[in-house]
Amino acid sequence: MKDCLAHARVALSNPEEVIARVCGHMVEHGGRAEERDGAHILHIHDAQARFTRDGDATLIEVTTKDLEGLYHMRSIIASHVLEFAEGPVPEIAWAGDGGDILRPPNFQILQVVGVRDVTPHMRRLTLSGADVARFAPTSALHLNILVQHPAASEPQWPTVGRNGLIQWADPEHRPLFRKYTVRSLDLAAGTLDIDFVLHADAGPGSTFAERAKPGDRVGIVGPGGGGLVEADWYLFAGDETALPAIARMLEHLPEGARGRAVIEVADAGDIQPLTVKADIEVEWLLRNGAPAGTTTLLADAVRGIAFPDDGSRVYAWAACEYQAFRAIRSCLREERRLQAHEHLAVAYWRRGEEGD
Ligand SMILES: Cc1cc2nc3c(=O)[nH]c(=O)nc-3n(C[C@H](O)[C@H](O)[C@H](O)COP(=O)(O)OP(=O)(O)OC[C@H]3O[C@@H](n4cnc5c(N)ncnc54)[C@H](O)[C@@H]3O)c2cc1C
C-alpha cells in the first residue's frame, strides 16, 4: 500500500526549541527521535514526522501507512507545535494527502437501542452503529463519549480543520468528552454495550446515562487506551469504573491463565456475575456506606496479595480513583518491583474533580 504524505510550512519564532520540545515530549510517550542529514525525525509507531528549515519557515513532513494514521500524526504534531510555540499563534495548514478528511476517522454517531440497569449503580446502554467492529480487538478497550452541552441549540459533531485539529461550529458550547469502556460487542447485531456508573455528584457522563433513552444519538471517538496483555499470572484491581474493563478482560483470558481479581463496589447489590474460563480468584470489596474514593480497601487488598515466584510471566492491571491508584502504583513499582511491561496502573477518576 502507498504511504500517505502531508506537509506544512510553519513560521515559528523559536523553531529549534519547538522541534526539540515536540520530539522530547513524544519520546517520553514512547516515540523515537533522531537527527539525520540536517533533519530532525520523529518516529511514532510506524509514522514519521520530519522537521527541516525552509528559508524562514519550518517544513514539517508527515508520513504514515494510512489515512487514519495521517489524521492522528497531523493532529499530534500540530497540537504540540501550537503548545510549544512562543509569540503569535503560528498558522498551520496541511497540504498533500488527507485534504478530504472532514471528520475524525475514529468518530462515529451511534444510536441508543437499549437501556437497563445491571445493578443499582450500573446502567448499561446498548448502542448501535455501522462500524462497531473497530472495537472488537481487546488491545484497546476504551472510547470517548461526546456529551452534548446542555446550552447547545443542536448536537455538535467534530470536524477537522486545515491544521488537522478538531474544530467546533460553536466552541463555547462544544460537547464534553468522557472516557468509557466497551463492555461487550454483538457484531451480528451491530451493537456494543457500555456500563455507566451512576455516581453521586453526577457529572455529564453519569447524567447522560441516567437520561438516555432508545432513539438518542451519541457521538463517540475511539477505540483507544490499553487492553489485555499476554501473561501467565494476572492481577486485576479496580473499582466499579474499572469493572467493565476487568469483566471484559476476564472473559477473554484463556483457560490456562491464573491470578487474582479484586473489585471494589458500593455494596453487595452491585456485585455482578462474571464469566471466567481462566483460573482467577475473584474477591469483591464492599464499601458498605463509605463514599466512593474514600477508602483504602483496594490498595490494602493489593498489598496483601502474594505474587508467584516460580518464573511465571506476571501482569498487574489496576484502575480506580486517583488516591487508590497512587497507592497501588507505588506498591506495584516499589514493593513488587514490577517492570513497565509488567503492569498498568491508571486513575480513572479523581474525587472532587471533573474528568473532561
Ligand atoms: C480509560 C477509562 C475508562 C473508563 N471506563 C469507565 C466505564 O466503563 N464506566 C464508568 O462508569 N466509568 C469509566 N471511567 C471513569 C469515568 O470516565 C469517570 O468516572 C468520569 O469522571 C465520569 O464522568 P462524569 O461526567 O459522570 O463526572 P465528572 O464530571 O467527571 O465528575 C463530577 C464529580 O463526580 C465525581 N466522580 C466521577 N466519577 C465518579 C465515580 N465513579 N464515583 C463517584 N464520584 C465520581 C468527580 O470526582 C467529580 O466530583 C473510565 C475512565 C477512564 C480514564
Query: How confident is the model over 332-343, as pLDDT tens digits?
Result: 999 999 999 999
Q: What is the pTM (predicted TM-score) of this model?
A: 0.94
Q: For the domain 107-224, what is the CATH superfamily, name and number?
A: Translation factors (2.40.30.10)
Please tell me the distance from the alpha carbon of residue 61 to that of residue 52, in angstroms, as a whole number.
9
Mean pLDDT across the chain: 96
* Separation of CA 199 and ligand 1 centre (Å): 8
Choose among 203, 229, 355, 237: nearest CA to 305.
Answer: 237
Could you tell me which of 188, 208, 213, 189 has the C-alpha nearest to residue 197?
Answer: 208
Q: Which residue's alpha carbon is at the smallest distance from atom 40 of ligand 1?
A: 199
pLDDT score at 1 = 72
Residue 149 half-sphere exposure, CB side, CA atoms within 13 Å? 14
Confidence label for 51 from pLDDT (cuts 50, 70 and 90): very high
- Distance from the CA of 173 to the center of ligand 1, in angstroms? 21
Structure confidence at residue 2 as a pLDDT band (50, 70, 90): confident
Q: Please name the amino acid found at residue 279.
A: D
Q: Which of 73, 184, 68 lies closest to 136, judged by CA? A: 184
**Pocket test residue of 138, 148, 179 for ligand 1, highest count of atoms within 8 A of CB:** 179
Residue 119: Cβ-neighbour burial (10 angstroms; 0-12, 13-18, 19+) = buried
Centroid of ligand 1 to alpha carbon of 349 (angstroms): 5
Q: Using a 6 Å cutoff on CB, does residue 348 contact ligand 1?
A: yes
Mean pLDDT of 223-252: 96
- In this prediction, residue 226 carries a pLDDT of 85
**Sign of the alpha-carbon torsion through 213, 218, 223, 225:** negative
**Which residue's C-alpha cell is 501507512?**
65
* Per-residue confidence band for 23, with pLDDT thresholds at 50, 70 and 90: very high
Give CATH for domain 233-349.
Answer: 3.40.50.80
Mean pLDDT of 126-135: 97
Q: Which of 118, 207, 241 to mutate to test the pocket of ligand 1 (most atoms within 8 A of CB)?
A: 241
- Assess whether pLDDT exceeds 90 at residue 356: no
* Fold matches, 4-96 and 233-349: no
47-75: average pLDDT: 96
Q: How far is the CA of 229 from the centre of ligand 1 (A)?
A: 24
Q: Evaluate if residue 196 carries a pLDDT over 80.
A: yes
Q: How far is the CA of 169 from the CAs of 222, 295, 342, in angstroms?
A: 21, 43, 43
pLDDT of residue 149: 94
Q: Where are the domains of the chain?
A: 4-96, 107-224, 233-349
CA nearest to 105, candidates 72, 128, 145: 72
The yes or no reply on domain 4-96 and CATH 3.30.310.50 is yes
pLDDT reading at 233 higher than 80:
yes
Alpha helices, DSSP H only, in the chain? 15-28, 67-84, 204-211, 243-252, 297-303, 322-330
Cβ of 181 closer than 6 Å to ligand 1, yes or no, is: yes
